[in-house]
């Protein structure tokens, strides 16, 4: 494993609890039938993406950067599973 891969793995493993934290924050905004496990899986993919894209030289703490990407990945997954486009939801 390369040094970069080891650093990314450490970031992911060290921030798995952040995924659950974000899931708990956003789950209250969705209907009960939305599976929290699915939200957590989408969030975990967001965490992996955050670890891959993170640039420490920008001065943003990883947890803040990752939380935003985790939430975005969760919202993307929910939108992809929704039958109605956002414009229709905005009308109702």
Give average pLDDT by consecutive 10-residue segment, the chain, 92 residues: 89 97 94 93 98 95 98 94 69 60
Predicted pLDDT at 59: 96
Please state, in angstroms and rounded to a whole number, the distance separating the CA atoms of residues 16 and 67. 11
How many independent structural domains does the chain possess? 1
Write out the residue range of the structural domain in which residue 11 sits: 3-91
Helices marked H in 1-92 — which ranges? 3-14, 16-27, 36-53, 62-81, 86-91
3-class DSSP assignment, residue 92:
coil
The CATH number covering residue 54 comes to 1.10.1740.10
- Give pLDDT, residue 46: 98
Q: What is the DSSP letter of 51?
A: H
């Amino acid at each position: 494993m390369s040094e970069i891969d080891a650093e990314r793995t450490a970031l992911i493993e060290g921030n798995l609890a952040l995924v659950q934290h974000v899931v708990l924050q956003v789950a209250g905004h969705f209907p009960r039938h939305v599976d929290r496990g699915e939200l957590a899986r989408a969030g975990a993919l967001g965490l992996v993406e955050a670890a891959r894209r993170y640039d420490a030289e920008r001065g943003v703490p990883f947890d803040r950067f990752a939380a935003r990407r985790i939430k975005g990945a969760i919202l993307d997954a929910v939108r992809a599973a929704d039958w109605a486009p956002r414009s229709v939801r905005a009308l109702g």
